Amino acid sequence: MAVASHRRPFTLARRHTAALLGASLLAAVLTVPPTAVARPLGEPRPPLAGLTTRFEAMRAHASVWGDDRRFESLLAGLQALRSHGLDPAHYGRDRLVRLRHDPAAREQPATEAWFAAALDLLHGRVDPREHEPDWNAAPRVADLPARLNTAIADGDIAGALLSLAPTHVEYAVLRAALTRLLDDPDPPAEPLPKSLDPLHELAVTALLADPDASLGPPAASRPEPRVGAPAVAERIARLRVNLERWRWLPEDLGRRHVRVNLAAYRVTRREDGRVLQRHRAIVGSSERQTPVFSDKIRRIVFNPWWETPHSIAVRDELPVFRRYPRAPRQLGFQVLDAQGRTVDPDSIDWSEVPASPFPYRLRQAPGPLNALGRAKILFPNAHDVYLHDTAAPELFFEREREFSSGCVRTDDIATLSAWLLEDTPGWDARRVREVMRSGRTVDVALTEPVPVHLLYFTAEPDPARIDGSVLYLEDIYERDARLLRALGTGPAANGMASARQR
């Protein structure tokens, strides 16, 4: 199968950074000992000891693993964890193989192995809050002792274990790609399309909208760079960490929902399992990273005022006002003092205004220069992060799009807004565009809130293809290596190192 890559054009400094990252990923794949992993126990992940105790009581402490067929099914299930990016050795498979002919000695470790693997497939091996401190997505849940008890009756121990993995299509695509790499770590190079040469490939257009999508501009207006795929070890590492990220997510993301992949600079709206449209996005810079969390979109404000956050007023606006004293009026800023009274910005000597304490509150009026553009899509949260339009749409055509202070600037926001308001009486695409053109500030509450998920994936199914290809995205916030270290050693590709198969 083909593997594509989506990366920025490299400067010498970026090439050096990428080389360091690749080295760290490779080191994490090959050298971190299994004992380095310790996911904090606690809700919602039940402790292993509690599960085994409850299961043994359910079975009245009767032997389970004395049956060779059950035991061999367990070994097969543990071995299959390789394709999920998990190392069978983490669950004691090597020890269990040595106990193959000792039914009594294998009883307890076999039970513990099944539950340990089940927990990692169901919740992820690593606590997401250790890597995404704002993580708030609901975890998947299952009655694991009951599952295993049913599997004993059915005889499919491995199937019951592996059925706990996510059922999202994206997870299946990444898992299939990992399986191919583990089985064939040196696949033949993908030939370029006949119409392209290596230099022209950098400018090739990816079809980023479904062929059947009827909303929004044509896919051909959304170019994406595509260059050679990373080395095998790095691809394995990227697939492992992104499979783990999928294990953190709930099974149901919402019949209608908005999904943001920060690493892809992309907002996607989805309905009934279909991608309706992909929107280019601008995300937070490395110094002001967009947080990863889930919420529900509840309101849209057209032609909004921009209530400038204090930190942005001090760090971004004040230096501009000091250099260009006429900028506040030209940009449409309203200046308020500590008592909330309006102050004429032309009467202020901005060169004398201190950054701390900054004595004013800034508000930018609706208009063509407003930082939020013509609309902001709100899902009230502690981060004051939301989706919004922009006064600088030309930035959507940059390949590197980390320009915001944390919010997600979204292109074609009129179409996205109209879709969000489909169930809200009195609103359609025509009215949305009329209100946006009017310049009037209009605040609309959605009749039915729509889930929104701000996520971070550095490997994802290639949206331009249907053959199982994977896009490897740049780790813009440099999070992969740390997560990989927490996951510990993973399955090795055949021909690179022992695959621990028995």
Q: What does the domain layout of the chain look like in residue ranges?
A: 307-364
pLDDT number for residue 294: 97
**Which residues are CB-neighbours of 321 under 8 A, at least 6 positions away?**
327, 328, 345, 350, 353
For the cut 90, the answer to whether the pLDDT of residue 361 exceeds it is yes
Q: Give the distance, in angstroms, between the CA of residue 50 and the centroid of all CA atoms in the same chain.
A: 31
- Cβ neighbors of 382 (< 8 A, separation 6 or more) are none
**Contact (CB, 8 A) for 182 and 174:** no
CA separation for the pair 243, 395 (Å, rounded) = 31
Distance CA 276, CA 258 (A): 10
In one-letter notation, the amino acid at residue 401 is: R
Mean pLDDT of 152-181: 96
Strand partners, 5: 227, 472
Stretch 103-129: mean pLDDT: 96
Q: What does each C-alpha distance from 364 to 306, 308, 334, 502 come to in angstroms?
A: 5, 7, 6, 66
Q: What is the reported pLDDT for 186?
A: 66
Average pLDDT, the chain: 83
Report which of 276, 245, 271, 266 is spatially closest to residue 256, judged by C-alpha positions. 271
pLDDT over 70 at 495, yes or no? no
pLDDT in tens, 57-85: 999 889 999 999 999 999 999 999 999 99
Q: Which residue has the tokens 């896009």?
A: 471
DSSP 3-state helix, strand, coil percentages of the chain (rounded to 5)?
40, 15, 45
Angle at 114 between CA 113 and CA 116, to 5 degrees: 65
CB of 479 within 8 A of CB of 456?
yes
Give the CA radius of gyration of the chain. Answer: 26
Fill in the amino acid letter for 80.
A
Rounded-to-integer distance, Cα 41 and Cα 257, Å:
31
Q: What is the pLDDT of residue 474?
A: 94
Residue 25 binned pLDDT confidence (cut-offs 50, 70, 90): very low
pLDDT tens for each residue of 397-428: 999 999 999 999 999 999 999 999 999 999 99
For residue 305, give both structure tokens: 């005022």
Dist. CA 3–CA 194, nearest whole Å: 17
Q: Is the peptide bond before 225 cis (omega within 30 degrees of 0)?
A: no
Encoded tokens for 109: 């470790």
Mean pLDDT of 239-261: 97
Q: Which residues of 4-27 are buried (b: 16+ CB within 10 A; e: fewer)?
A: bbbbbeeeeeeeeebeebbebbbe
Q: What is the pLDDT of residue 36?
A: 30
**Residues in CB range of 176: below 8 A, 6 or more apart:** 1, 468
By residue count, the chain amounts to 502
Q: Are 297 and 452 in contact (CB under 8 A)?
A: yes
Cβ neighbourhood burial of 356 (10 Å; 0-12, 13-18, 19+): exposed
Among 487, 502, 495, 397, smallest CA distance to 87 is for 487
Distance of CA 483 to the CA centre of its chain: 13
Confidence of residue 185 (pLDDT cuts 50, 70, 90): low
Burial class (CB in 10 A: 0-12, 13-18, 19+), 419: buried
Q: Is the pLDDT of residue 227 over 60?
A: no
Helix (H) or strand (E) holding 75: helix 68-80
Rounded Cα distance, 88 and 82, in Å: 7
Which is higher by pLDDT, 458 or 499?
A: 458
Structure tokens at 345: 């910005």
H or E element, residue 279? strand 274-284
Residue type, 346: D
pTM: 0.81
Q: State how far the Cα of 398 lies from the Cα of 296, in Å rounded to an integer.
A: 29
